[in-house]
Copies of this chain bind each other. A is one copy, B any other.
């Protein structure tokens, strides 16, 4: 045990990125994930193995690995011998997604008394991001900011697994907006709500923030579900 060893031991922890040089399949999955979330691939679209593998110059096997990853995130659904399709959430899914969000977000906010300041600051940053997007009337960016806001709320829990789960849930929630044609103005009314919630958090009024959030989620779910059922009734060819 020399002095050099001591110094090396005191070096900072390795950045997470070091562990994983990304594989081709993951890169393909990342690309497709963006396509799905951004709506370049509409819900219900079938993803042909042959065409995609030719288009992006990867083998079918690699592509299939990417499909598996995204299926696990519920962004794609895989049907035996039929192929993979972009998920097409139903109103039941919407209800389930909100149920999950209530479960994750509200306890996280309520427990925010013990959350580190940076976590609360992340919430504030997302609010600011949303307001900046509203200035520019950039609806798509507003949706993204809203996602970041709720991700930051869940992040107050300080759990890596919850963070990951929440990411999936939010990605799926975004799909819901693509299923309905009227996507992004939905977020606009909620911006002020976001700011109120952050204000409470900043004052460390966790219960107040949680109560606001609860009402927020109720209202948002209500609005989405009604819009959704109307749409489902309409597109149902009976």
In the complex, the chain B residue whose C-beta lies closest to that of A159 is: B99
Interface contact A97-B161, CB-CB below 8 Å? yes
In the complex, the chain B residue whose C-beta lies closest to that of A154 is: B103
C-alpha gap A107/B103 in the complex (Å):
7
Which residues A181-202 have CB closer than 8 A to chain B?
Answer: none
C-alpha gap A72/B161 in the complex (Å):
11
Tell me if A86 counts as interface (CB < 8 A to partner B): no
Shortest beta-carbon distance from A26 to chain B in Å: 10
Scoring A79, A106, A161 by chain B CB atoms within 10 A of each residue's CB, the highest score goes to A161
Tell me if A169 counts as interface (CB < 8 A to partner B): yes
Binary contact readout A150-178 vs B (1 if CB under 8 angstroms, 0 otherwise): 00000001111110010001000000000
Q: A61-B61, A80-B23 are in contact. Are A100 and B69 (CB under 8 A)?
A: no
Interface contact B80-A159, CB-CB below 8 Å? no
Tell me if A30 counts as interface (CB < 8 A to partner B): no
Tell me if A68 counts as interface (CB < 8 A to partner B): yes
Shortest beta-carbon distance from A49 to chain B in Å: 13
Tell me if A3 counts as interface (CB < 8 A to partner B): no
C-alpha gap A193/B100 in the complex (Å):
27
Tell me if A38 counts as interface (CB < 8 A to partner B): no
Tell me if A19 counts as interface (CB < 8 A to partner B): yes
C-alpha gap A104/B79 in the complex (Å):
30
Task: List residues of chain A with CB under 8 Å of any chain B CB.
Answer: 19-21, 23, 25, 61, 64-65, 68-69, 72, 74, 79-81, 96-97, 99-100, 102-104, 106-108, 157-162, 165, 169
Q: Supply 5 A–B pairs (Cβ within 8 Å), ascending by A.
A: A23-B80, A65-B68, A102-B107, A103-B103, A161-B169
Q: A20-B80, A68-B68, A107-B107 are in contact. List 18 more A-B contacts (CB 8 A).
A: A19-B79, A20-B79, A23-B80, A61-B61, A64-B65, A65-B68, A69-B72, A72-B72, A96-B160, A96-B161, A99-B159, A100-B159, A100-B161, A102-B107, A103-B103, A103-B108, A103-B157, A165-B165
